Amino acid sequence: MADAFIEIASVSKSFGSVTAVDNISLSIRKGEFFSLLGPSGCGKTTLLRILGGFETPSDGKVMIEGQEVTHMPAHLRSTNMVFQNYAIFPHLNVEQNVAYGLRQQKLSREAQAEKVSAALAMVQLEGFEKRGADEMSGGQKQRVALARALIKRPKVLLLDEPLGALDKKLREEMQIELRILQQQVGITFVFVTHDQEEALTLSDRIAVMSEGRILQNAPPREIYERPCSRAVADFIGQMNLLDGVVASVDEQISVSSAALGPVSVGSNNQTVRTGDAVTLAVRPENLSLSDVPTPGGLAVTLKASAYFGDTTHYRVNPLEGDGSTLDVSQQDYQGSDRSGDQAWLHFDSSNFLLLKD
């Protein structure tokens, strides 16, 4: 990529016999909010630590702003990290923590104090200068860690699951603040998380990782609406995944699935031939139910329902199918939701995705 700010080229990292990062190539643009998303153990933290200089790749190269940094130690890199547990120095107070990285700049006392108070103002921690590390909440520690890293004016800020330790409400608040802060300072953020909602909310681009590889690297909307594989579809949001076989290939592709019978779908950039085993994917919100028979409606039996406030989930079982179930998310279903009741399922086959694996 021409405008690559961070370039990761064929990077691998093994620990003993375990391959944590498996031949990953990746470009990140300047000023981008980039997320590495995946379950624990997928190699996302290792990749972040390679960027920070805490791990040396077994193979491959890392460039930042055109300069190779593969073997450059952490303390010489222009990257800074917000650690998962924040790593606030317990023997220093807030002010001393934030000023920690300024020693080499040999600033005057006033200049340093000015920088520190500006950094604390940025994360809304004015007045906390003399607090000790053990007198702060998780959210406050996180702000100190942010201020401490940003005061260094890094080219890249690395964030290792920084919101993981916070409770849900605070986490959502911090997500918004983090996004605003990133746009304010214009620094490239590389953000590691296992929380797909968090990644979708915050990122300009997401790389979904599994077992040391990148499954898909795309903007959030594309990741959500057009996952490229069954694994990504399964990991991001709720998704009905149905086994099927390609019946015919024309302008439209006809797939026959045991659950729904024949369905015509768009190609979704996948090349398939008649007889291929494929997966049909459809999100619960793209299905709907009615309690009276309608043309094109598929008769189903209700198995269970769960109320979520803004929506209700229904688990249904097509009468004619092989017994596999589908989840439907709907706000305004009027019918009875007792288990065993009958209903009619509607879908628009253009919402179906065709996945090859």
Partner 1 sequence: MNRNMNVAARILGAYAVIYVAYLYVPVLFLPLFSFNDSIYISFPLRGWTLKWYQTMFANEALHRALVNSLKVGMMTALISTILGILGARAVTRYQLPGQKPVVAMIMLPLVVPEIILAMAMLIVILRMGGSLGLVSIAAGHVLICVPFAMVVLMSRFEGFDRSLEEASYDLGENAWWTFWRVTFPNVLPGIVASLLLTFTISFDEFIMAFFLGSTNPTLPVFMWNQLRFPKLLPGVLALGACILIASVFIVLLAEWFRRRNTSETQTGDMTIG
Partner 2 sequence: MIRPQFLGGCFDSAGLMNNATSKPLDRLRSSLSRRPALRGYLLLSPTLGLVGALMCIPIMAMAVLSFWQQTGHMDFDMSGTVQNYVEALTRDMYRVLFLRSLGISGLTTLATVVMAFPLAYFIAFYVKRHKMVWIILVTLPFWTSYLLRVFAWKVILGYGGAVNSGLIALGAISEPLTFLMYNPTAVVITLTHAWATVAILPIYVSLEKIDRSMLEAATDLGDSPFIRFFRVTLPLALPGILAASVLIFIPTVGDYVTPSLVGGSDGYMIANVIQFQFGRGSNWPSGAAISLTSMTIVAVLVAVFVWSARRLSGRHS
In whole angstroms, the minimum distance from the beta carbon of 196 to partner 1 comes to 25
- 76 binding partner 2? (CB under 8 A): yes
Crossing angle for the helix pair 138-150 and 168-185, nearest 10 degrees?
10
In whole angstroms, the minimum distance from the beta carbon of 73 to partner 2 comes to 5
- 72 binding partner 2? (CB under 8 A): yes
Query: Contact region for partner 2 (CB under 8 A) — 69-77, 283-291, 318-326, 332-340?
Result: 69-77
Within 8 A by CB and 6+ apart from 283, the residues are 237, 238, 239, 240, 329, 351
Supply 180's token pair: 């605003």
Residue 72 vs 304, nearer CB to partner 2: 72
Beta partners for residue 160, in sequence order: 192
Residue 32 vs 55, nearer CB to partner 1: 55
Query: Contact region for partner 2 (CB under 8 A) — 72-80, 100-108, 207-215, 330-338?
Result: 72-80
Judged by CB under 8 A, the residue of 13, 26, 37, 55 near partner 2 is 55
In whole angstroms, the minimum distance from the beta carbon of 214 to partner 2 comes to 24
In whole angstroms, the minimum distance from the beta carbon of 61 to partner 2 comes to 16
Residue 56 touches which of partner 1, partner 2, none (Cβ within 5-8 Å per kind)? partner 2
- 73 binding partner 2? (CB under 8 A): yes
- 18 binding partner 2? (CB under 8 A): no
Residue 73 vs 262, nearer CB to partner 1: 73
| Cα distances (angstroms) measured from residue 17 to each of 13, 14, 20, 74, 75 | 10, 7, 9, 25, 29
Helical spans, DSSP H, in the chain: 44-52, 94-99, 109-122, 138-150, 168-185, 196-202, 220-225, 230-235
Contact residues for partner 1 (CB under 8 A)? 52-54, 73-76, 79-81, 83-85, 87, 89-91, 100-101, 103-104, 148-149, 152
Judged by CB under 8 A, the residue of 1, 75, 296, 310 near partner 2 is 75
Residue 83 touches which of partner 2, partner 1, none (Cβ within 5-8 Å per kind)? partner 1
In whole angstroms, the minimum distance from the beta carbon of 56 to partner 2 comes to 5
Residue-wise DSSP of 308-355:
-SS-EEEEEEETTSSS--EEEEES---S---TT-EEEEEE-GGG-EEE
Helix/strand/coil percentages in the chain, nearest 5 = 25, 35, 35
Instruction: Give the integer Cα–Cα distance in Å for 119 and 116.
Output: 5
Residue 55 touches which of partner 1, partner 2, none (Cβ within 5-8 Å per kind)? partner 2
Query: Contact region for partner 2 (CB under 8 A) — 17-25, 68-76, 124-132, 243-251?
Result: 68-76
- 91 binding partner 2? (CB under 8 A): no
Is the CB of residue 247 less than 8 Å from the CB of residue 312? no
Crossing angle for the helix pair 168-185 and 109-122, nearest 10 degrees?
130
In whole angstroms, the minimum distance from the beta carbon of 38 to partner 2 comes to 24
Residue 15 vs 100, nearer CB to partner 2: 15
Tell me the three-class secondary structure of 206-242, residue by residue: EEEEECCEEEEEECHHHHHHCCCCHHHHHHCCCCEEE
Is the CB of residue 207 less than 8 Å from the CB of residue 34? yes
